[in-house]
Structure 1
Amino acid sequence: MAAELHLLGRAVKQTQYRQHRALDSRLAGVGTTLAQWDALRAISRSPGASARALAAATFQSEQAFGTLAGRLVTQGMVERRPGHGRRIEHHLTPLGEKTLKAGHQVAEEVLAECFAPLSEAERTTLLNLLRRLGDEAPDE
């Protein structure tokens, strides 16, 4: 049983690794990286969010997200604005919106390729199982 769990853990990690490599490679064609595109997605979902909230949403430390956000500001994709107290809010610029949209198109293609071997029913089952492991409630 323990060996099967190790194999399962490795298979999940291997699948994620292949997906991330494909995404990172193809996102370069639209001028971004997977980490940057993920940050743009998080900011788009929560305009005005703090670095702390965005770091949690992108599975990064606050320091790592701050460095990444700084690069996005330098590239003209993100704008930082003063918020309540010492809080700094993050917003997408028009260039950030354009890059995010281009990234969505790339991700749709890559993910379709990654999950092509699975039927629609298998993808639904996999999603439900992964959500259960991650304690996420399914979308209603």
Structure 2
Amino acid sequence: MKYLNILAILLITACSTQGQNSKVQTIDKSEEEWKAELTELEYYILREKGTERPWTGEYNEHKEKGVYTCAACGNILFYSNAKFDSHCGWPSYFEYATDSSVVESKDYSHGMVRTEITCAKCGGHLGHVFNDGPPPTGLRYCINSVSLDFVAE
């Protein structure tokens, strides 16, 4: 059922007008609902803004073609053709998939100033973006594997 929902999202996205900034229908659930749906590690990362250990994530060295979606809600986040090996220990992408993929906000935690990346649909914490990525964007979206699901092409 989960894959059918993701397929439906892919079809809707493919049929939408490119370049149009569409309004995202957000998900509003209680923390109790999230705890019931997510694994302990998914909850820690997606809802409590945790971080998985480097080089331990399922998608760090993943090379298949397809689409990376939010593990909590199935929102399309990144296409595999934007993935690159940054040697940082987490999956990295130079751009997100659509205007409805992510939200960027300032993160002042841990004595640093960073840009946090969250899912635009459910608000789940994905990771951070840095200015040391490859062309064409020069950005590196450094994402926790636990925050992701993958749908093969």
- With the length of structure 1 as denominator, give the TM-score of the two structures: 0.23
Name whichever structure is richer in strand by fraction: 2
Q: Which has the higher contact order (CA 8 A, sep 6+)?
A: 2
The structure with the larger Rg is: 1
- With the length of structure 2 as denominator, give the TM-score of the two structures: 0.22
Name whichever structure is richer in helix by fraction: 1
